[in-house]
Structures are given as structure tokens and as C-alpha cells.
Structure 1
Amino acid sequence: MATIQIRNIPEDDYEALRTAAKAEGKSLQSYMQEQASVMARRAKKRAAVEAVQEVWERTPGGGLSRDEIVTEVRAMRGE
């Protein structure tokens, strides 16, 4: 598993994160791991949408079949 270290977080942001973690009954580390996973899922979804849009734009008439979309998304995922 990878490690991320973040420096120079403004104190008020740190306190907001610490408070949010406490409100959920989690350590700050656990809370931030969860938030990093949420951010990663959003980035993956955004990349998938962009891949589909790219295929859509280069397809004459703009129409894609379900199979073409699935193929492109799988290719983007490396499947």
C-alpha cells in the first residue's frame, strides 16, 4: 500500500478535518484514507467519462453502441 504525506496544511483546514474525523468516530488517518479513496473513485469516473466522450467525438454521427462503450471503458481500465 502506498503512503502519502501532505505538508503545509492550513491550521483551520487541519482542524476541520480533525473535527470531521472525530464526528465519525475515526482517527484522522482513517478518515483521510477514506477521503483519498473517495477522491480516487471520482478521478476514475471522470477519466471513464472523458474516454467515452473522446470516442463519441471521433465516431461519425456521434452514435455508439453499448458494446463500443463497454469496450472503450474496459480498455481505459486496462481490462
Structure 2
Amino acid sequence: MKKTIHPDYRAVVFRDPGAGVAFLTRSTVSSQKTIEWEDGNVYPVVDVDVSSASHPFYTGRGRVLDTAGRVERFNQRYGRR
């Protein structure tokens, strides 16, 4: 691997302020903000809008559509006459 063409791959904390969740992983993303992690080391922190802790698909808080009502409405409009 050439030393000068690849971005710096290091430990970074991703934080979801809305859900109050943070996790440490490795990434090439850069950030000016830092945070002291549980192990006592200081890492760059990146605030994200959506994570697995706040996304409706992963948390089960998504909308449930009333499919029975929609089918009945369709049949009322376009059903056999």
C-alpha cells in the first residue's frame, strides 16, 4: 500500500444525541470535536442524526398502516357495481 494516498483509518466515536447512544468504531471520517471515552482515551466524535437506536425500522416504532381499511375503501370506489 502506498503511504501517501490513503486516508487515516482510526478509532472514532459516533454519537446519536437524540437517542443518547454512542459507539466506538474505526473510520476515516474526520472531526474537530473530541470526547473522552469509557477507557479514558480521547477520540474524535461525530454526531449523527439517525442510528440503529433511533431509526423506526430498528426500534419497532414505525407506523402501522391499516391495510384492511384501505382495501375496503378501494372496493367501495372501484368494486363491482
- TM-score bracket for the superposition, by shorter chain length: under 0.3
State which structure, 1 or 2, has the greater radius of gyration over its C-alpha atoms.
Answer: 2
The structure whose RCO (Cα within 8 Å, separation 6+) is larger is 2
Q: Greater share of strand residues, 1 or 2?
A: 2
- TM-score, with normalisation over the residues of structure 1? 0.26
- TM-score, with normalisation over the residues of structure 2? 0.26
Q: Greater share of helix residues, 1 or 2?
A: 1
